[in-house]
Amino acid sequence: MVVRINTGKSIAGILQYNELKREEGKATLMMTSGMLPGAEQLNRFQLARQFKSITDLNSRTHTNAVHISLNFSPQDQLDKQKMKVLAEEYLDGIGFGNQPYLVYAHWDAGHPHVHIVTTNIDRKGNRIETHNLGRTTSEKVRKMLEVKHVLIPAEKQDYIGPDLKSLIKPAYGELPTKAGLASVINHVLANYSFASFSEFNAVLGLFQVTAYRGEKDSLRYKNRGLIFHFLDIQGRRKGVPIKASSLYSKPTLNRLEKRYGRAIARKKAKQADVSAHVHQVFENLKARGSGSIDQFKKELLKDGIALCLVFNESGRLYGVRFVDHRSGYVFKGSEFGKKFAANQLAEHFGLAGESKAASKVSFPSPAVNKPRIKDQAMDSSPSVIELGANVLEINVGDISDSPIQGSVYPKGKRKRKRDGSNEGNR
């Protein structure tokens, strides 16, 4: 049983996600507790008001929404009654048994799973501590339930959520565009840090997705709009674009930019280690007389590092990014020394003048393993992203249909006014 816990500030948003699934016939409200009679007949606004009557008892706590998903293996033979029992026992075990909650059974993936909507404010207005809940209490309860009900342990589950292969090589029309994009974007936001828009796109490109601001003279660009596309095998945008503001996690430009400063400060601690790995691989290949960029990429991936190359339409390499899957940070080639800057790397591997725009990129099946700014140019210039050699070596269990996977956005610090009152989390 795989458990995912997310806390937030909007119960209404969590209800909207689950109720829309319900309206589409992809979910059912399987169980309620601590709600007024007839909750099954209420709409999401009425349900939100019931929760608000509880959260209003503690006006100082702004992070008062809790969204939990319990994901079971397809090998677990579970009916609705068994899933109700598991949800109830899990909530009792983590100390939420007396809280008001809703349990939705979702039918939009290849495994049985439920979503739980609740709050961490009790009926006396006290806040239930949720910090490290997933790593402490939840883990103990999960393992206890796996033994008690003979469930497939989380460590032995091979598949939870959308198939990673279908996300890396999506067939347009087969995978719902919005759902597929949301799964990839949420995974990237939860597991990677980036210090610029182009670094964000470097990671998205590994999943064959891109974020696009529009041309510099367009209204979208001037209004700081953002849309997401799937990429075809040539690295070109395809299909219907999805607005950032329409996605559950709201990955708008303003929200993305709040992450940049933290990534710049924190990735410095990892830079020396990742740089050492890159230099070692480079020197080993050089000593063996290998001049292949593909071999360089292949050897880097063994250390969990993806090399992302960006070419302009004439085939000139002008962007180099190293994505470290272990730490989740992205580094420009020049941060590791001059020989990893675009011009020098192109000269060393004989890439100058090659037209990558015309080459076809293949997508081998991903392995299921856990691997260890002149940015304006990359944001706006026509370019071709070389994708195929960077198939991700990550656990497919990291991607779920849950709308939020982990802490997507950094929590803003509260600012203290001169009069002593707090502001910021309004």
What integer pLDDT is reported at residue 60 of this predicted model? 92
Cβ burial of 2 (10 Å; 0-12, 13-18, 19+) is buried
Distance CA(145)–CA(92), nearest Å, equals 12
Is 424 part of any domain?
A: no
Whole-number mean pLDDT of the chain?
A: 77
55-97 tens-digit pLDDT: 999 999 988 999 998 988 888 888 889 999 999 999 999 999 9
Q: Is the pLDDT of residue 370 over 90?
A: no
Same-domain check for residues 176 and 324: yes
| Residue-range definition of the domain harbouring residue 214 | 164-398
Same-domain check for residues 24 and 100: yes
Same-domain check for residues 126 and 250: no
Same-domain check for residues 385 and 245: yes
Closest listed residue to residue 346, CA positions, set 91, 6, 338: 338
Rounded to the nearest 5 degrees, what angle is found at the Cα of 306, between the Cα atoms of 300 and 307? 90
Which residues have C-beta within 8 Å of that of residue 128, sequence separation ≥ 6? 95, 96, 99, 120, 121, 122
The whole-model pTM stands at 0.52
Q: What's the CATH code of the domain at 60?
A: 3.30.930
Locate 97 and state its tokens: 């048994």
175-215 tens-digit pLDDT: 457 777 887 887 788 778 899 999 999 899 888 889 999 99
Q: Do residues 228 and 185 lie in contact, with contact meaning Cβ atoms separated by under 8 Å?
A: yes
What integer pLDDT is reported at residue 363 of this predicted model? 30
